[in-house]
Amino acid sequence: MPEDHPEPTEDARHAAANALLGTTGVTRAKVDSAASRRASRRWWDADADAYHETHADFLGVDSPAGEFVWCPEGLHEGDWHLLGDIEDKRVLEIGCGSAPCSRWLAAHGAHPFGLDISRAMLDRGVAAMNAGGPRVPLVQAGAEELPFADESFDLACSAFGGVPFVADSEQVMREVRRVLKPGGRWVFSVNHPMRWIFPDDPGPDGLRAAIPYFDRTPYVELDADGEPTYVEHHRTIGDRVREIVAAGLVLKDIIEPDWPEWLDREWGQWSPLRGEIFPGTAIFVTEKPN
Ligand SMILES: C[S@@+](CC[C@H](N)C(=O)[O-])C[C@H]1O[C@@H](n2cnc3c(N)ncnc32)[C@H](O)[C@@H]1O
C-alpha cells in the first residue's frame, strides 16, 4: 500500500463502525437471541465497508471466482478438502458475508446458497458477482432459524459466520442437522475457545491470560440507550462438542491450524507472535449420521 493510503488497522475499522452505531461502552452481560441478532445485524451493516477495506484481498472477495479461506491462518478449502467431494453438491454457507467461499464452491462445481443476517455484507457479495464470475443465491436470515426445508442440503459450512455471534449455538447445530441430508457434512470455523482468556491484542499484551475460560458471560458493546451494538458469545471446547453431540451430529475432527511460515500479516488479534504459541482458530468437522 502507498504511504498516503495506509492499510486500515483493525482498531480503526472498529472505531469507524462504533462511531456509526454510537457505541459508548463495553460490558459483560447475558444477551438473548433476539438482542444478539439485532446487534449482529447492526454491527455488520455498519462495518461492512471497513471489513472489506481491511480483509477483502486476503479473503479473495473481488477475485472473479471467489476464494474459500477458512480462517486468518489462511487455510484454503482447495488444499484441505474439509467438505470432501463438492461436485454437484448443494451447499449451505452460514454467515457468508460477501460470499467469497460460496462463489469459490460454485466455481468448483457445487451448488451453494449463501445465508447472512446483514444486508450490507450480502450487498457487497452482489457487487462482486455483478463484476463477473459465478452467481450464487443469497438469503438474508439468522443462523438460528434456517428458512429451508428438512434435508435440502448435502453439505453446510461456515467460516467465522454466525456461530460465534448467536446466543443459542446449540440451536444452530440442530437447525443445520435438520436441513442436511443423512450423511451430510457440516464444517464450521470459530475463534479458538482458549483465545477468550486473553485480551484481543496481537502484541505481547495479548499473551497475558486475563479472563476466566469458564466465564461464558458474553462480551457486549452498548450504545447510549444500553442497546447492544456488538455481541460475542463464548463456548468452551467441551461446550462446542456437547452442542454438536446433543444436536445428533457426529464429531469427526477439530482442526487447530498452525500459524504458517509464509504469513506475516495480522488480522485483529491474530498475529504471527501469538499464532506461534497457541491456536487462534478451531475448525469443527461434523456429520449427520446416515
Ligand atoms: C467475520 S464475518 C465472516 C464472513 C465470511 N464468512 C468471511 O469469511 O468473510 C461474520 C459474518 O457472520 C454474519 N452473522 C453474524 N451473526 C449472524 C447470525 N446470527 N446469522 C447469520 N449470519 C450472521 C455477519 O453478518 C458477517 O457477515
Give me the DSSP letters along 275-286: HTTS-SEEEEEE
274 pLDDT band (50/70/90 cuts)? very high
Q: Could you tell me the sign of the dihedral formed by the alpha carbons of 207, 160, 121, 224, in that order?
A: negative
Q: What is the amino acid identity at position 139?
A: V
Answer whether 55's CB lies under 8 Å from 266's CB.
Answer: no
Closest by Cα among 4, 142, 124, 5 to 66: 124
Closest by Cα among 181, 126, 120, 117 to 149: 181
Q: Is the CB of 176 under 6 A from ligand 1?
A: no
Q: Give the residue, by CA position, lying nearest to ligand 1 atom 14.
A: 162
pLDDT at 12 exceeding the cut of 80: no
Q: How far is CA 47 from CA 38, 109, 153, 169, 281, in A?
A: 14, 31, 30, 23, 22
Answer whether 169's CB lies under 8 Å from 276's CB.
Answer: no
What whole-number distance in Å separates Cα of residue 232 and Cα of residue 217?
9
For a mutational test of ligand 1's pocket, the pick from 77, 113, 117, 166, i.e. the residue with the most ligand atoms closer than 8 A to its C-beta, is: 117
Poorest-pLDDT segment among 15-29, 100-114, 171-185, 222-236: 15-29
pLDDT at 3 exceeding the cut of 50: no
| pLDDT computed for residue 15 by the predictor | 81
The residue assigned the cell 481491511 is 54
| pLDDT computed for residue 75 by the predictor | 97
Q: Is the CB of 184 under 6 A from ligand 1?
A: no
Question: What are 21's three cell numbers?
Answer: 452505531
- Which carries the bigger pLDDT value, residue 286 or residue 25? 286
- Burial per residue of 175-194, b for 16 or more beta-carbon CB atoms within 10 angstroms, e otherwise: bbbbbbeeebbbbbbbbbbb
Q: Is the CB of 72 under 6 A from ligand 1?
A: no
Using a pLDDT cut of 90, give the percent of the chain over it.
88
Closest by Cα among 139, 134, 146, 83 to 107: 134
CA 19 to mean position of chain CA atoms: 23
Query: For residue 3, how far is its CA from the centre of ligand 1 (angstroms)?
Result: 31
Q: Is the CB of 157 under 6 A from ligand 1?
A: no
Query: For residue 25, how far is its CA from the centre of ligand 1 (angstroms)?
Result: 23
Q: How many CB atoms are closer than 10 A to CB 249?
A: 22
| pLDDT computed for residue 248 by the predictor | 98
Cα Rg, the chain, nearest whole Å: 18
Q: Give the residue, by CA position, lying nearest to ligand 1 atom 13.
A: 95
CA 35 to mean position of chain CA atoms: 19
Q: Is the CB of 160 under 6 A from ligand 1?
A: yes
Q: Where are the beta strands (DSSP E) in 150-237?
A: 153-159, 180-191, 219-223, 228-232
For a mutational test of ligand 1's pocket, the pick from 96, 189, 233, i.e. the residue with the most ligand atoms closer than 8 A to its C-beta, is: 96
Q: Is the CB of 99 under 6 A from ligand 1?
A: no
| pLDDT computed for residue 8 by the predictor | 52
Query: What are the φ and ψ backbone dihedral angles of 49, each rounded to 5 degrees?
Result: -65, -50
What whole-number distance in Å separates Cα of residue 171 and Cα of residue 149?
16
pLDDT at 7 exceeding the cut of 60: no
| pLDDT computed for residue 5 by the predictor | 35
Q: How far is CA 166 from CA 160, 192, 200, 232, 260, in A?
A: 12, 16, 19, 8, 30
The residue assigned the cell 447510549 is 224
β-strand partners of 116: 140
Question: What are 245's three cell numbers?
Answer: 453431540
Query: For residue 7, how far is its CA from the centre of ligand 1 (angstroms)?
Result: 22
